[in-house]
């Protein structure tokens, strides 16, 4: 790290990432596995017992995958964490047919392999809600059971009877007695023209889980809960007959969204259609179902071989913080930046994410070793969503003192000022300043490292010989830099004001020069349209600051126009 960047604080939690296994000793590995095991157990309990979702499915899956990976990395301590993974009671009501759950297929290759071993496959959207079992006797709803752990769940009958989407009585077939049937489906929050690719889950699953966990449910909330029936375990033997039967029972919408697929192209078509098209609910992927399957009595509370999920690209990634860097901008604003163990999100490898502000970093108290959620803003820019859990070992992180940095600090690269000074140079040469094409952060950094810039305007005196001596700058490039630096001298007064960092409201009039602007009092500045008390104070402070006055004197000596 160059000496003039020493103030940028970068704390690393152990060595740089060199593989999938953390560089831990046995004692720490045991503590980390135990903590993650307990955390997952708490999440499971919240979901199965209370219908609450503390984290998104994507983050849960990644955390579960991380625990599995850590157990492979540290087999000598894995047994203790596995023993601690005791399933908690999920409810007091036994499902008449087990809720199986779904294996998750990882990418197109896995989907192709799954399809290759099966025929008569159908696809439906994987509705992002809460699963429920509905039991009808003689056509009447007698029991509604939350998913729980797939074997037992909570009794939701009273709540389900409040929902207009859940029929209290099924229509009897024309030529038969009312049905005794079990249906499995998803309660979802109704959304208008919801596009999953743009809006994500919109918190819909958590809202449903919260409502169904309450004792009270308002009529308005109940009316906004929909039902998607995704299976009739002991229905007719063919998928076509089951779907026709569901439609006749009043579930035509669910039946219409179960479509036959003949191959990968059709599977991809429906996945993209439901991901990017408007739907009345949130969806986190698709479900592939083989038409033939065992009778319901043989179903187990584990992923079956005849159904699987292909989830949409995750909108969040679980990332470990490796370091915290504090960048200081031209105006003295301190921006924390998290360095992450690389993660892949929507095909992009993410290694860094901004926190936004020093105040937000302080509120979140993020340190190396913490696990954070990262999403993509606008599908391109990494965005910090929050802290998922904190590391067991959290080294101290000391940010720069806010009072030391402001709009009029660091016009020289003195100790602690290197970062802001470099930012001033970048601004000076950028399009909003002198527009020095091809002169960016790397060039200014090289000149600083070579000791050629002790002030903001020292580059005006550099010739080709001194530039050529800078590592990485050859003779041809040096000549180009000399030409650009010379052209900067001819830039207008307004461009120079902006380059020096004057407030935007300092735009000079046709008769203004430096002396005229510097002579203005706060009261004079207040007479300008749009300039209030604060703006006038900022302008007066800029034009009377000793460092700025010294820069103006230098430009006057260099013959720059209007100085």
Active site residues: 126
Q: What is the distance between the alpha carbons of residues 75 and 80, in angstroms, rounded to a whole number?
A: 10
Q: What is the distance between the alpha carbons of residues 21 and 392, in angstroms, rounded to a whole number?
A: 17
**Which token pair is 284?**
């986190």
Contacting residues for 534 by C-beta, under 8 A, at least 6 apart: none
β-pair type (194-195, 371-377): unpaired
- 349 strand-pairing partners: 344
Reading phi first (left if > 0) and then psi (alpha if -120 to 50, else beta), residue 423 is in: alpha
Q: What is the distance between the alpha carbons of residues 339 and 354, in angstroms, rounded to a whole number?
A: 9
**Nearest Cα to 467, choosing from 488, 454, 483?**
483
Dihedral of alpha carbons 74, 80, 81, 85, sign: positive
Reading phi first (left if > 0) and then psi (alpha if -120 to 50, else beta), residue 371 is in: beta
Q: What is the distance between the alpha carbons of residues 440 and 460, in angstroms, rounded to a whole number?
A: 16
Cβ–Cβ under 8 Å, residues 274 and 286: yes
Q: Measure Cα distances from 223 to 94, 211, 226, 256, 516 in Å.
A: 27, 12, 8, 22, 69
Instruction: State CA 372 to chain mean position distance.
Output: 9
Length of the chain counted residue by residue:
563
Half-sphere exposure for 427 (CA within 13 Å, toward CB) = 20
Three-class DSSP category at 286: strand
Query: Looking at residue 492, what DSSP letter applies?
Result: -
Cβ–Cβ under 8 Å, residues 88 and 49: yes
**Which token pair is 83?**
């023993």
Cβ–Cβ under 8 Å, residues 448 and 474: no
Number of Cβ within 10 Å of residue 547's Cβ equals: 15
**Nearest Cα to 135, choosing from 234, 238, 239, 214?**
234
Half-sphere exposure for 529 (CA within 13 Å, toward CB) = 1
Dihedral of alpha carbons 424, 430, 433, 437, sign: positive
Q: What is the distance between the alpha carbons of residues 397 and 166, in angstroms, rounded to a whole number?
A: 54
């Amino acid at each position: 790290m160059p000496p003039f960047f020493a103030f940028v604080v970068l704390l690393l939690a152990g060595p740089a990432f060199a593989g999938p296994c953390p560089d831990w000793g046995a004692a720490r590995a045991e503590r980390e596995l135990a903590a993650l095991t307990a955390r997952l157990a708490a999440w499971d309990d919240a979901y199965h017992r209370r219908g609450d979702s503390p984290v998104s499915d994507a983050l849960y899956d990644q955390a579960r995958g991380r625990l599995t990976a850590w157990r492979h990395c540290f087999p000598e301590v894995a047994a203790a964490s596995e023993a601690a993974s005791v399933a908690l009671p999920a409810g007091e009501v036994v499902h008449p047919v087990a809720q199986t759950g779904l294996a998750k297929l990882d990418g197109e290759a896995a989907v192709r392999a799954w399809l290759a071993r099966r025929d008569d496959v159908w696809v439906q959207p994987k509705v992002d809600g809460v699963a429920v079992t509905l039991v009808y006797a003689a056509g009447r709803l007698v029991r509604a059971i939350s998913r729980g752990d797939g074997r037992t769940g909570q009794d939701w009958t009273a709540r389900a009877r409040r929902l207009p989407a859940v029929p209290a009585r099924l229509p009897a077939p024309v030529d038969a007695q009312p049905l005794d049937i079990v249906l499995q489906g998803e309660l979802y929050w109704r959304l208008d023209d919801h596009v999953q690719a743009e809006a994500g889950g919109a918190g819909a699953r958590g809202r449903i889980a919260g409502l169904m966990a309450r004792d009270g449910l308002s009529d308005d909330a109940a009316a906004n809960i929909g039902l998607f029936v995704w299976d009739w375990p002991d229905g007719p033997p063919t998928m076509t007959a089951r779907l026709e039967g569901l439609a006749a029972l009043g579930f035509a919408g669910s039946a219409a969204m179960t479509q036959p697929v003949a191959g990968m192209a059709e599977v991809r078509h429906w996945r993209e259609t439901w991901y990017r098209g408007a739907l009345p609910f949130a969806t986190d992927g698709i479900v592939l179902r083989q038409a033939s399957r065992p009778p319901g009595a043989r179903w187990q509370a584990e992923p079956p071989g005849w159904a699987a999920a292909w989830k949409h690209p995750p909108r969040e990634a679980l990332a470990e913080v490796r370091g915290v860097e504090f960048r200081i901008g031209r105006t003295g604003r301190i921006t924390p930046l998290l360095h992450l163990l690389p993660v892949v999100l929507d095909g992009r490898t993410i290694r860094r994410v901004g926190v936004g502000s020093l105040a937000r970093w302080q509120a979140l108290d993020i340190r190396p070793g913490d696990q954070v959620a990262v999403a993509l803003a606008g599908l391109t820019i990494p965005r910090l969503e929050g802290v998922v859990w904190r590391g067991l070992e959290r080294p101290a992180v000391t940010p720069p003192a806010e009072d030391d940095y402001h709009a009029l600090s660091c016009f020289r690269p003195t100790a602690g000022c290197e970062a802001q000074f470099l930012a001033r140079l970048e601004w000076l040469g950028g399009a909003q300043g002198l527009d020095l094409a091809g002169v960016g952060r790397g060039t200014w950094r090289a000149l600083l490292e070579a000791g050629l810039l002790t002030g903001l305007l020292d580059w005006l005196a550099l010739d080709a010989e001194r530039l050529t001596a800078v590592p990485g700058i050859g003779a041809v490039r040096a000549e180009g830099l000399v030409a650009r630096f010379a052209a900067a001298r001819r830039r207008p007064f307004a461009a120079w004001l902006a380059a020096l960092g004057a407030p935007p409201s300092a735009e000079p009039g046709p008769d203004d020069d430096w002396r005229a602007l510097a002579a203005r009092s706060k009261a004079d500045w207040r007479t300008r349209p749009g300039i209030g008390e604060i703006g006038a104070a900022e302008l007066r402070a800029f034009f009377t600051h000793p460092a700025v006055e010294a820069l103006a004197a230098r430009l006057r000596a260099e013959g720059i126009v209007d100085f």
